[in-house]
Amino acid sequence: MLKQRIITALIIAPISIACVFFLAVPGFSLFVGMIIVVSAWEWANLADFSGTARYMYAGFIALLLGAAWFVPPLWILATAFVWWMTALCLVARYPALEDTWNAKETRLVIGVLVLVPGFVALVQLKQSVDNNFLILLLFFLIWGADIGAYFSGKAFGKRKLAPRVSPGKSWAGFCGGMVTALVIAAGMSLWLGKPDLTTLRGVVFLMACLAVAVISVLGDLTVSMFKRNRGIKDCSNLLPGHGGFLDRIDGLLAAGPTFSLFILIYGWQ
């Protein structure tokens, strides 16, 4: 299983990075949109739909991605932030609040709040100044938090982070992931030469990167919560060793809108 995960990751990561650097906004948007639509097909499974209904939901999300171009991104990203703060309460109280979102139709609506803002966030970042750097920073924050959590959790993990949702995650792993993400944020900022980390603006940027890494963990836990409710381990088997696309981008779907909203409001230069 570990060998499969490594091989798949070594294929996916270079493709993702290449698309960031070499695709213009239209091509990048199409690439991201395709991944989101496949993830929508997987999300329909989390909502306990099967067969044609899953494809219809994926088509519906595709239409919403097109419609999102005509809506101010601030509205979509702010709505997503409200949803993820709500998700924090649902995860923390799981399974106490399960009845509030357990209906199939409710889970489909939540899928819209998860998937569409993820698309908008990445497209918005692609249109920003230093776009490639910002998207790579976002990727590396999420990957760094995940890798740091894995190794620190294996070495020191005893107290569980959210045992009713994801028994494998520990507080030690969470802290290790956050330290790793903070080091990555500082290192990449120093490499680019901005923002100046000795200024208030630089400190705020580092704290925002840390918050983004924290919310990426929330995205992971939220999808895990829906999988546990559905009684499945993976959203699909499209990616050997990793499950489905949704299993790989769950952290990005939460962290992306948060990071993009920060850049949109606070600025970058």
- Three-state helix/strand/coil letters over 185-206: HHHHHHHHCCCCCCCHHHHHHH
What is the pTM for the complete model shown?
A: 0.94
Contact 108, 57 (CB under 8 A): yes
CA 173 vs. chain centroid, Å, equals 18
Listed in sequence order, the residues at least 6 apart from 173 whose beta carbon sits closer than 8 Å to its beta carbon are: 148, 149, 150, 152, 153, 154, 156, 157, 161
Closest CA to 110 of 136, 80, 138, 130: 80
What are the backbone dihedrals phi and psi of residue 3, each rounded to the nearest 5 degrees, phi first? -60, -40
- Report the greatest alpha carbon distance in the chain: 55
- 16-17-23-24 Cα dihedral, nearest 10 degrees: 110
How many whole angstroms separate alpha carbon 182 and alpha carbon 205? 10
CA–CA distance from 209 to each of 36, 190, 229 (Å)? 23, 14, 31
In the predicted model, residues of the chain with pLDDT beneath 70 are 1-5, 241-242, 269
Amino acid present at 114: V
Q: What is the pLDDT of residue 1?
A: 57
Q: What is the pLDDT of residue 269?
A: 62
Q: What is the pLDDT of residue 54?
A: 96
Amino acid present at 15: I
DSSP states of the chain: -HHHHHHHHHHHHHHHHHHHHH--HHHHHHHHHHHHHHHHHHHHHHTT--THHHHHHHHHHHHHHHHHTTS-HHHHHHHHHHHHHHHHHHHHHTTTTGGGT-SHHHHHHHHHHHHHHHHHHHHHHHTSTTHHHHHHHHHHHHHHHHHHHHHHHHHH--SEEETTTEEEEEHHHHHHHHHHHHHHHHHHHHHHT-S-TTSHHHHHHHHHHHHHHHHHHHHHHHHHHHHHHHT-S-S-SSBTTTB-HHHHHHHHHHHHHHHHHHHHHH---
Q: What is the pLDDT of residue 89?
A: 96
Q: What is the pLDDT of residue 239?
A: 77
